[in-house]
Amino acid sequence: MPSQSRRIPTLFLLPVLVAAQASAPLELSLKQAVQMALAPDGSARVRIAQQAVRQAQLRSAEARAAFLPNLDAAVAEQSQTRNLSSFGIKIVIPSFLGFSFPSFVGPFNTFDARISATQSIFDFSSIRRYQASRVGIQVAGDERDAASDQVSAQVALQYVAALRAGARVEAAQADVELAASLLQLATNQKDAGTGTGIEVTRARVQLSQARQQLLVAQSDQRQSQMELLRTIGLAPGTPVRLTGRLDMQPVDQTTPEKALDVALQSRADWKAQQKREKTAQLTYSGVKMERLPTLVGFGDYGSNGLAIDNSVPTRTVGVALRLPIFDGGRRDARRAESLSQYEQERLRSLDLRRQIDLDVRLALDDLQSATDQVQVATEGLAQVEAEVEQAQRRYKAGVSSSLEVTDAQTRLARARDNRIAALFLYSRARLQLYQAMGTIRQVVD
């Protein structure tokens, strides 16, 4: 990651620490939440993906070693005895003055200090394996980007869910205030002799129910905020205040075909799958090329003798051409296996492209449906608010009972919930569309 991204934890965790010390809530926007999650010490999923990139780089370095010299050094001093007969050396000479050719020799000492080197000169199979490993690094990088997109989408969806919970708390508080005002109105009318006790009781029941709904909404808000903090890598007990609002943000008009084109150019998981298919193809090509001859250079240089003080320099230099002939069918089995793996990746690419097309079309359909729901819910809320105002005026004027106001208040609470739910569905569909198109990080940043 660039050096600027490494400074993100310091910039954002500092206010967290200060807020924790001062017991003040952390002001958290959607952009800040996503940046915290994508920081090196943020989401565990992103950190795991980064380690996968490191492993791919090491595997590439391992494959590259096939083109570099292989050097070995050894120093040996031995005391040996030999049975010449075991080597097929059997010399029979007539005895002369009691002397005969021995069959057992030694002990005698040998000393050897030597540096050996081998160098691959021509090996197509190693070239293909190295090319596959280089593409593997790109695959790991795209998978890291895909993990970042998924984490960004997850944080954004949880942030929107927390905003929905906060909006429900505000709506529940408004219901409590309205119920309290109606209770006060019913009490005043009863004291004035124009109201009845049942109306006061009915208003108290409505206030109690509104307070109950407020407690439930506050509990949901705390839980949704803790889930959000867990995802971005902060302690669940960190006090936080979301600065965003649950509203209807505009989305550029597009067609499924245009959205699909953007997705195929932007989605990191599609790019990773394309490169996985290429890696499998290179691996298959490398296995096929194992049948080709390989050219290897070798040599050694050292000092050899009976002891270190009477050793003399010796060397070996040569070139070997190796031609594989028969290995029991292992090479053919590996080739068939690699071909099957390549075909498997090709089918995965085809399936992923179809899935991306489906994701885009479903997201667009959900967005259109959510847009219509927001419009209907907004109109319904406006009508119910007008009904509540009329019911209150009629109740104050004494031309209707509190039952009409209570019914209107119940419909108002339901209309508020419907609009909050519609706004949440719209925000979620909007984020899912950007996720399907592979542009989620550009939007939340």
The CATH number covering residue 268 comes to 1.20.1600.10
Does residue 281 form part of some domain?
A: yes
> Cβ distance 41 to 9 under 8 Å?
yes
Give me 425's structure tokens. Answer: 């569905």
DSSP SS3 for 217:
helix
- Structural domains of the chain, count: 1
**For residue 332, is it within any domain?**
yes
Note down the domain range covering 59.
3-69+123-294+328-444
User: DSSP string spanning 11-79?
Assistant: HHHHHHHHHHHHTPPEEE-HHHHHHHHHSTTS-HHHHHHHHHHHHHHHHHHHHHGGGS-EEEEEEEEEE
Give residues with Cβ within 8 angstroms of 423, minimum separation 6: 164, 167, 246, 247, 248, 374, 377
**283 located within any domain:** yes
Q: Is residue 83 part of a domain?
A: no
Q: Which amino acid is at 230?
A: R
**What is the distance, to the nearest Å, from the Cα of residue 358 to the centroid of all Cα atoms in its chain?**
21
3-class SS of residue 398: coil
Please state, in angstroms and rounded to a whole number, the distance separating the CA atoms of residues 85 and 92. 12
- pLDDT at position 248, please? 87
Per-residue pLDDT of the chain (445 residues; tens, 9 = 90+): 343 333 344 444 444 444 444 457 888 889 889 988 888 887 888 889 999 999 999 999 999 998 899 999 999 988 888 887 787 777 766 665 566 667 788 788 889 999 999 998 888 889 999 999 999 999 999 999 999 999 999 999 999 999 999 999 999 999 899 888 888 888 887 877 777 788 888 888 888 999 999 999 999 999 999 999 988 888 888 888 999 888 888 888 889 999 999 999 999 999 999 999 999 999 999 998 988 899 999 999 999 988 888 889 999 999 999 988 888 888 889 899 999 999 999 999 999 999 999 999 999 999 999 999 999 999 999 999 898 888 888 877 777 777 788 888 888 889 999 999 999 999 999 999 999 999 998 888 6
Residue 111 is assigned to a structural domain of this protein: no
- Could you check whether the bond before residue 236 is cis, i.e. omega within 30 degrees of 0? no
What is residue 212's predicted lDDT score, i.e. its pLDDT? Answer: 93
- Looking at the DSSP assignment, which residues form a beta bridge with residue 241? 27
Query: Does residue 322 lie in a domain region?
Result: no
Tell me, yes or no, whether 307 lies in a domain.
no
Q: What's this model's pTM, rounded to 2 decimal places?
A: 0.77
97 lies in a domain? no
239: helix, coil or strand?
Answer: coil
